[in-house]
């Protein structure tokens, strides 16, 4: 058994609605995938947002393609 993020493993989908324009937001993937980016600003932002997120949660980055609104959603990892 393993604690895995259902979104990262394609086992589940979480649909978020943009709070600005009510359009469906797109899952841009887990935030950990962004750690490879060479952007100190982005890294700072992630670090501050990851604070307070439980170890058994996976942060996903959602973005509304219509208005550009972005949100990070903490997804609970599940045992498979």
Which parts of this chain interact with Zn ion (CB under 5 A)?
Answer: 5, 7-8, 18, 20-21, 23, 30, 58, 64, 66-67, 69
- CB 23, CB 67: distance < 8 Å: yes
Name which of 40 and 54 has its Cβ closer to Zn ion: 54
Name which of 42 and 66 has its Cβ closer to Zn ion: 66
Q: Where are the beta strands (DSSP E) in the chain?
A: 3-4, 26-30, 57-63, 70-76, 78-79
Name which of 15 and 40 has its Cβ closer to Zn ion: 15
The single residue listed with the structure tokens 């996976």 is: 58
Tokens of 65: 């393609």
Instruction: Provide the minimum distance between the beta carbon of 69 and Zn ion in the complex, in angstroms, as a whole number.
Output: 5
Instruction: Provide the minimum distance between the beta carbon of 40 and Zn ion in the complex, in angstroms, as a whole number.
Output: 24
């Amino acid at each position: 058994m393993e604690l895995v993020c259902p979104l990262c493993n394609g086992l589940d989908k979480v649909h978020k609605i943009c709070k600005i324009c009510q359009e469906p937001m797109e899952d841009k993937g887990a935030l950990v995938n962004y750690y490879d980016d060479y952007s100190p600003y982005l890294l700072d932002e992630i670090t501050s947002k990851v604070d307070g997120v439980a170890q058994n949660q996976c942060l996903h980055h959602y973005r509304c393609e219509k208005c550009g609104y972005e949100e990070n959603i903490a997804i609970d990892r599940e045992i498979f």
